[in-house]
Structure formats: structure tokens, C-alpha cells
Amino acid sequence: MRFSLFIGKRLSFKEDESSTSSPGVVIAVSGIALAMVIMMIAVTVVTGFKNEIAEKVMGFESQITIIPTLANQNSGISNEGIELSDDLLGIITDNAPGAKASLSLRQPGILKTDESFQGMIFKGFSDSESFRFISDNLVEGAIPDYSAPENRNSILISKSTARDLKLHPGDKIFAHFFLNDVIKSRNLTVSGIYDTHFSEYDKRLVFSHISMLQRVCSVDSTVGNAVEINGIPQKVDIDEIADNIRSDAWKYVSSHRPDYIYNVENVHQTGALYFNWLELLDTNVVVILILMALVSGFTLISSLFIIILERIRTIGLLKSLGADNATIREIFIFIAQRLVLRGLIIGNIIGIGLLLIQKRFHLVPLDPDAYYLNYVPVDINWLYIAAINVGVIIVSSLVLILPTQIITTISPAKSIRYE
């Protein structure tokens, strides 16, 4: 065993055998542990927040949306229906294997009770899978079985809409639609009430089966006004897939229907406001990590200075016995690394413990009107936590070089008489 490691292992963290840990030890361990806890909380909370918000945005705005338009020299670009044809489905499958494509239809309308009314956008889905997001956020009632014809006029409204119109599951309500200067009315049943805390969407969206809206719009059962593509893995570049679909769709319509245009949009475009906001959070995390790295570094430097000053006589004794400066510096670097390891262990236990408690019990709340969530989200990514630990070890190893330089200035004769 090397001499520096042998001595370093036997030097106590206490001022003497009967006392508690020295101030330098307490400061070093506490500083490292606190920095670890703050960095872990910052990374996991921001990651969790980004994932939760992105999931909500994708619940309302599909990952990729294909919207048809009809180019006309006289009237510009006008809305046009779309069918999920075999050719279009083939283009989607070729560029996004495993993704789910479904037909949807949006139509503005008015929900009216005897006492009040509210303008809404009705969104109809063609398959039950598309209602999963609403099902996950359902607070009252249930998702109706739309395969049964008697449920085709059932709708799902938000908690804010239900509060404003004083509606409950099972209540009847009239919906009025304006199409080509004609008013069409439907007697609908409120089947369920959802709450995503996304007020911008909750206040204006009503969900139903697409067949009800198809009858209102007098279109065929295979026609909608958008094709929504979901199920693309998060690691896949959605922007690139959307560009590829747009390119292939353009080639297809150019040869089959030159006056027809497929507008292909991805969620980063339709939900740009939210994703741009989320990107700003990355900057905040970087700032926090840098600040905590600086704090832990300065704490470690000051602590090592204190530890060295507390052991001036030991340093003088080692020098008088023939130990050179490099060996003594190794001893104190080894001592400091032991303190870093102790701080890492304590910080990981406290940090991970707090994160697991918050992930399980949601003890720390948020104002949903301001943050779109009613609790602080946590996404425990073990790779990120491991990276933080490695980063702290590397930074601490580098900053320890400076304070040990003071050892070279200590005189053996004077240090032995040091009180």
C-alpha cells in the first residue's frame, strides 16, 4: 500500500478522539450533500415537467397532423375534406413505421343551456384509441362505448366548461352548428368530464365520436378534415419524419391531383408556444448546475484549507520524517476525496429519497392555472443522476489541487511549534 494512502486512511475526521467532527469536515460534507440534492431535484423536476407538458400538448395536438387544402386561383386556399386512403396510409407507414394514423374532424359550434351558452370546437375521433388521453384525465363520468349507435351523440367536456354551464354527467344539452348559412342542432348527452389543467385547450374543446360530426357536416363516413399520426417514439426526430411525409405527399398529389395540397404539421409547430417555453427551462437547469458546481467547489476548497490548518503539526512531523510535499499533498487530497464520497452518499440518499416520495405521493403542489399541473412532477432518470455524481467527482478532483499548494509553504520547524 502506498504511504500516502496508508496515512490518509488513519487520519481521523475529528479534531481529537473525544470530539465531534471538525468544522472543515462538516462544511465539506454538508456542502457536497446539499449541492447533490439541489442538482438532482433541478434536473429531475425540469425533466419531469417537460415530459408532462409535452405529453399534454401531444394529447391535444397530435405528433403529426395532415390537413388537406384545395388550391384555387380565384378563392385562394380553402378547406377540403380528407380520406385516409391506402396511398396516404402507405406514405405514413413508409416514413413512420409503427405509428398510428387516424381520421379526425373539427367543427366549431355552440353549447347552449337554458341559462347560458358557450362557443366551442368539437373534435371527433374515429377510433377508441384516440380517447386514451381524455380517459387518463377523466374526473367524472366515463368514456362512452361509441361502437353502440345509441352513444354516438355522447360528448366529453372539460371541468371548466361543465362549471360554466352547470353540467354534470348524464345531462342533456343542445349543440348548434353553422354551416353554409344553415343552423344545424343536435341534442347531446354529457358522458364524461375531463380536466387536464390546460385551460387554453380545456375551455374550447369538446370531444365526440367522428360520426356525429360527419352527419352534421353531411360528409361520408370515410371523410374528416385531418389525419392525425401518433405513437412515434420520443427518441425519433418528429420534425424529420414530418418533412419526409410532406415530401412524399407532395410527390403523390403532384402526379394525381395538382390542385390539392397536403399541409403536414408536427407538434413542435402546432404547440410551438409551449415547446419554446420548455426550452427556456433547459437554460435554468444549466445555470443551477453551474452555480451548484461553483458552490461545492468553493466549499471543498475552504474546507480543505481548514483541515490543513488543523493539521499543521502533523504536516510538520511528516516533513521532518522525510515526506516530500507531493506525498503530503496526496494524503490531503485522499482525505478530501473521502469527504466528497461521504457527501455524495448522504446527498444521494436524501435526494433520491425526497424524489421518490414526491413521485409517489405528490406532496409538493403547484398552481395548475399557472403551471398546467397540480403537483411538482418528477422524472427520475438514473443516467442523469449518475452523470451528476461523476461530474461532482471530476470537479472536486480538479479544485483540490489549489488548496493543497499551501502545504509547500509550511516549514517543519515552525509547524511543530504551531498551536
Say if residues 142 and 192 touch (Cβ distance below 8 Å). Answer: yes
Decide if pLDDT at 165 tops 90. Answer: yes
CA–CA separation, 164 and 151 (whole Å)? 24
What region, left, alpha or beta, does residue 360 occupy, with left being phi > 0 and alpha being psi -120 to 50 degrees?
Answer: alpha
Question: Can you give the pTM of this predicted structure?
Answer: 0.82
The answer, yes or no, to whether residue 240 has pLDDT greater than 70, is: yes
Measured between alpha carbons, how far is 275 from 282 in angstroms, rounded to an integer? 11
> How far is it, in rounded angstroms, from Cα 288 to Cα 294?
10
Alpha carbons 347 and 335: distance in angstroms, whole number: 18
Q: Which pLDDT score, from 0 to 100, does residue 107 have?
A: 94
Q: pLDDT for 98-117, tens place per residue?
A: 899 999 999 999 999 999 99
For residue 42, give the amino acid letter: A
Q: What is the pLDDT of residue 251?
A: 87
What does the pLDDT look like over 116-126, one tens digit per residue?
999 999 999 99
Among the ranges given (252-261, 278-287, 393-402), the one the predictor scored with the smallest mean pLDDT: 252-261
Contact 198, 56 (CB under 8 A): yes
φ and ψ of 221, to 5 deg: -70, -10
Q: What percent helix, strand, coil does the chain show, rounded to 5?
A: 55, 20, 25
Rounded Cα distance between 94 and 153, Å, is 36
Task: Look at residue 259 and tell me whether its pLDDT is greater than 70.
Answer: no
Tens-place pLDDT, residues 54-108? 899 998 999 999 998 865 544 333 456 888 989 999 999 999 998 999 999 999 9
Rounded mean pLDDT, 292-319: 78
Share of the chain above pLDDT 90, in %: 51
Bridge partners of 105, per DSSP, are: 124
Q: How many CA atoms lie within 13 A of 188 on its CB side?
A: 34
Rg (CA), the chain: 32
Say what angle helices 238-256 and 86-95 make with each other, to 10 degrees: 150
What's the rounded mean pLDDT across residues 226-247?
A: 91
Q: Maximum CA pair distance of the chain?
A: 104
pLDDT score at 414: 55
Q: What's the confidence (pLDDT) of residue 70?
A: 66
Distance CA 107, CA 33 (A): 55
